Amino acid sequence: MNFPLYIAKRYLRSKSSQNAVNIINFITFLVIVIGSAALFIVLSGFAGLKTFSLSFTHSFDPDLKAVPTTGKFFAITSEQETSLKTLQGVAFYAKEIEEKVSLVHEQKNHIAYIKGIDANYVNVTGIDSTLYFGDWAINQQQGVSGIGIVNLLGVTVNQYQNPLRVVVPKPGKGSLSQQNINSKPFNQLPLIISGVYAVEENLDKKYVFTDLALVQALLEKDETKISGINFKLLPDFDEATVRKNITQVLGNKVILKNREELNSTLYRMLNTENLATYLIFTLVIVIALFNVVGAIIMMILDKQQNSKTLYSLGTTIKELRHIYFVQGVLVTSLGGFVGVLIGSLLIWSQLIFEWLKITPSLAYPVEYLISNVFIVLLTIIVLGMLASKIASSRISKKLITA
């Protein structure tokens, strides 16, 4: 067995004759356990919040989306549609057209987006799973609205006598005053709300879904004009390959974006928050590991006679330093492992029993990731090695021979 490791393990198991040293060692070990457990729990909590936040995008956003390179709309030919239907790697695709509109109901109005979708849209995004009440009926008369819009405008489901009015400016050039004074500057569409979806506050106030052809007529666009194509990919196909195949069909008039690219701001915000939290808790652990430096120095002083004996038997100063360095690494590693184990038990208990609630019906989201286990252990071990190196460097010939 490695000599420094053997001695370090003996020192780790043995108790000091001085009670104060034992108390300091115990407190040091406890601080490492609490610090590593806290770091693991916080990382697991943020992982759960990230997954919970991004679950909204899985309802609204496809695996891939083709959007126009310039402008709001682009045209798709029947030949291109035929090619997309036989494209390898694509399970479904759905066309959409989207425009900002004014929603009016009983002298109340709200600016939102109307999204015309085809029948395949629910297969691509699973948006129908967010239905809060009513029916997912999309046709020439009916549509589905967010619950935020319903609350703002006081719309009720299946209100045939007083439907929601969708108002959008007519396409054209020049100011309204330059257009024919006798013609109406706006197109209007009466829309009966058949169902209401609920996801999160911003999205609930943003969209009204209805039939693709209906919105194309409202915007005075022909059936070839759309604002996007949504793709659901087969799980066994590489995204890069599918991107290349789609680009070959649609050409350079579109840009393909995956779910992360469509929500780049949200992903960037979540990653930044996660990194900031990790750095803050790491700083706390750095401060806590000063206890390790103090504990090792106290151990060096407590074992001074033992070190002098080992030195007299031929142990070099470098080997003596390595003994206490290994001891510090063992303490921090063991503390980190116990802390992660305790943190894992708490996370598992939350996943199973859901004892911590955000609301009476919603448990606080957490996620157990093996990557977080390695991150915490690696952080503790690296910082422990630095602390142990600093403390063990205090050993010198002068100290041993004093």
Prediction pTM value: 0.78
Task: Express as a percent the part of the chain with pLDDT over 70.
Answer: 93
> Alpha-carbon distance 27 to 303, whole Å?
19
Neighbours of 63 (CB within 10 A): 21
**What is the pLDDT at residue 51?**
87
pLDDT one-digit tens code per residue, 318-367: 888 888 888 888 889 999 999 999 999 999 999 999 898 888 878 899 99
More confident residue, 3 or 169: 169
Other CB atoms within 10 Å distance of the CB of residue 252 = 7
Give the pLDDT score at 324: 82
User: Would you state the pLDDT for residue 7?
Assistant: 72
Q: In whole angstroms, what is the distance from residue 38 CA to residue 33 CA?
A: 8
Decide the pairing of beta strands 108-117 and 207-211.
parallel
Binned at pLDDT 50, 70 and 90, residue 17 comes out as low
C-alpha torsion sign, points 132, 134, 136, 142: negative
| Sequence letter at residue 222 | D
Q: Report the 10 Å Cβ neighbour count for 284.
A: 14
Q: What is the pLDDT of residue 99?
A: 95
Query: What are φ and ψ of residue 202, in 5° steps?
Result: -65, -45
pLDDT per position as a tens digit, 260-285: 899 888 889 888 988 998 998 888 88
CA separation, residue 354 to residues 18, 44, 48, 66 (Å):
45, 14, 13, 40
Mean pLDDT rounded to a whole number for the chain: 87
Please state, in angstroms and rounded to a whole number, the distance separating the CA atoms of residues 250 and 108: 41
Helices of type H across 86-236:
121-125, 147-153, 201-204, 212-218
pLDDT, greater one: 175 or 251: 251
Q: What local confidence, expressed as pLDDT, does residue 193 receive?
A: 96
Q: Report the relative pairing of strands 186-197 and 142-146 from DSSP bridges.
A: parallel
Residue 174 pLDDT exceeds 60: no
Alpha-helix runs per DSSP H in 223-263: 239-250, 259-262
Q: Is the pLDDT of residue 216 over 90?
A: yes
Q: What is the residue type of 118? A: D
Partners of 166 in the β-ladder: 103, 189
Closest CA to 308 of 389, 391, 393, 402: 402
- Residues 164 and 153: beta-carbon distance below 8 Å: yes
Contact yes or no for 295/32 (Cβ under 8 A): no
The C-alpha torsion from 284 through 287 and 289 to 291, rounded to 10°, is: -130
Name the pLDDT band for 220 (thresholds 50, 70, 90): very high
Copy the structure tokens of residue 354.
Answer: 């859901």
Task: Find the length of the chain.
Answer: 402
Residue 183 has pLDDT above 70, yes or no: no
Angstrom CA distances, 277 to 39, 42, 288, stand at: 9, 8, 17
Taking the CB of residue 212, how many other CB atoms lie within 10 A of it?
A: 20
CA nearest to 291, candidates 38, 32, 16, 33: 32
For residue 315, which phi and psi values (nearest 5 degrees)? -70, 130
User: What does the angle CA 212 – CA 189 – CA 133 come to, to the nearest 5 degrees?
Assistant: 70
- Per-residue pLDDT, averaged over 157-179, amounts to 78
pLDDT for position 181: 46
For 17, the 3-state DSSP assignment is coil
Residue 77's SS3 state is coil
